[in-house]
Amino acid sequence: MKHRLLNFGLILLLTLSLLGLGSAHAAPPAKSGYWENFDVHIIVNSDGTFWVEERQVLQFSGGTFTFAYRNINQDRLKKITDVQVWGNGEQFTASSNAAAGTFDTYREEGDFYIKWYFAPTEGRQEYLLRYLVHGGLRYYDDGDQLWWKAIPADLIAHVVHSTVTVELPDGATAEVVEAYNINAQSSGQGSPIVTFKTLETIPSGEEFEVRVQFPHGIVAGQAATWQRVEDGKPLIDLAITVLSLLLLVGGLVGLILFWYLRGRDPAVAIPADILPTPPSPDRPGVVGTLVDEKADMEDIIATLVDLARRGYLVFEEEQKKGFFGATNREFTFQRTEKAADGLEKYERQLLNFVFGRGRTRKLSDLKEKFYTHLPTLQKELYQAVVERGYFSASPQQIRGKYSGLGVLLIVLGFLGGIMLSCVGSDYTRVAICPGIALGVVGIATIIVAQFMPEKTEEGKIMALKWEAFRRYLQDLERYTDLTEATALFEQYLPYAIAFGLERAWVKKFTRLPSTTIV
């Protein structure tokens, strides 16, 4: 039996070993490669075209390869013709059947592609590409120029070494010689043949570009459309930048001027610094809306408390014992028998929203429901300040109108920026700037819209008077003895709520032993 177990153990060990081998081979190493050499020889012709010969020495590893390709950006040339391909000394034929020993050319997303096919291969391989470039030279009075990205940035692997040779036509000598992005050594300035040799490995994602300038008039041709566009870019960039700044600055200055003319309250003399009594019979909700130009929740609560003070409803509190001795408070609103005939419209609506057809309502019943009535109450409060002649139009409508204009400007800026970027990206790097400027002006318009409601002269005077009364309530202890002013607590509490002073107001009187606040 022991023998048998040993055999089973050996079988299990062998099985696991075989599975391990299988798993090791299940994930073969990824195929990869790099360029040992990527040499470029450029021959400039007297007719303005130039030949490009690329000698690519590739090192394939991790498996076999069956094709390779070269894509050439056509933004700075007219066309490419006369493509020829050799592989390891054998010339390939042009065909679209993807057979070994053939190559094909096509255009995709603005690039010219050369794709060649070969039998499954690995290790070191050498290929030669040759093609004729039309409309690739730059023409200037002070010297014509050849610019060429010998090593493009979109190669999928690094290049160990590159030599670029530029051969000029008869009678031409190199006046200016430059290499860009990669550390390289150049020679041949003042002669018809210029050579560039890289001094470092070119990583994937980096490009190696060369420039050779020679006397104007030796080669035929004239500036292509792409060159005129390229040369005009700085001027276009400047014009669009200036336009964007004018749009931005002009828009912001225009907003300030528009507010000054249409949104600023009229200048009036301050009637008083402090008023110890309400300057008008206006109710707290109307006063709060007048002063800060917003019908907010404080104004509605102030109205509710004021209605209770005037005898239209009663607040009751019921305390119940909860779990673990905790006390739960439940507030109840009780409608009195006092008729609502003499109330403002917004006051009647508030009572109706609270009680409906009943006479009693718990505060807990209003939660998640009362907020649905807020827009109606706010609208009526805004209408109340307009009817009193404090505003020529509803502050809410004014803010909404100009905020809508701001949103429109933001949308136009966004869509315009996208459209200009798509249409003008070939001509300028700042095509999106006018859209950004318009969007910023739109945001500023939304901000300024909050300050656009304009009080009438009567409204401004009344607002200043109520602000004087607010200062009196805020510093009441400075102007009167609180022990003698306890009767004012209930009378002025709704106004304190509308002014946002309720906490400080209650705190003042809770210090007095003679004041009981329930």
User: Which residues, including other chains, have CB under 8 Å from residue 20's CB and lie 6 or more apart?
Assistant: none
Amino acid 316: pLDDT: 84
| 302 vs 286: CA distance, rounded Å | 10
User: Would you list the domain boundaries of the chain?
Assistant: 32-222
Summarize pLDDT for 470-511 with one digit per residue, the tens.
999 998 888 887 776 777 888 899 999 999 998 887 777 776
Amino acid 149: pLDDT: 97
Averaged pLDDT, 345-367: 88
Beta bridge partners of 23: none
Least-confidence region, from 30-34, 56-60, 142-146: 30-34
> Is residue 174 within 8 Å of 149, Cβ to Cβ?
no
> Is residue 395 within 8 Å of 454, Cβ to Cβ?
no
Paired tokens of 100: 């070994």
Which CATH number is correct for 32-222, 1.10.3720.10, 3.40.50.720, 2.60.40.1730, 3.40.50.300?
2.60.40.1730
> Is residue 413 within 8 Å of 442, Cβ to Cβ?
yes
Residue 402 pLDDT exceeds 90: yes
CA–CA distance from 216 to each of 90, 172, 175, 220, 482 (Å)? Answer: 39, 9, 11, 9, 96
Q: Give phi and psi for 56, each to the nearest 5.
A: -110, 120
Each residue of 390-407: b (16+ CB within 10 Å) or e?
A: bbeebbbebbeebbeebe
Using CA atoms of 132, 136, 140, 145 in order, give the dihedral in degrees to the nearest 10. -70
Task: Please tell me whether residue 436 adopts helix, strand or coil conformation.
Answer: helix
H-type alpha helices, 107-201? none
Task: Please tell me whether residue 291 adopts helix, strand or coil conformation.
Answer: helix
Q: Give phi and psi for 252, each to the nearest 5.
A: -70, -45
> Is residue 44 within 8 Å of 146, Cβ to Cβ?
yes
Paired tokens of 6: 């040993």
Beta bridge partners of 315: 333
Using CA atoms of 127, 128, 132, 135 in order, give the dihedral in degrees to the nearest 10. 70
Q: With a threshold of 0.85, does the pTM exceed it? A: no
Amino acid 480: pLDDT: 80
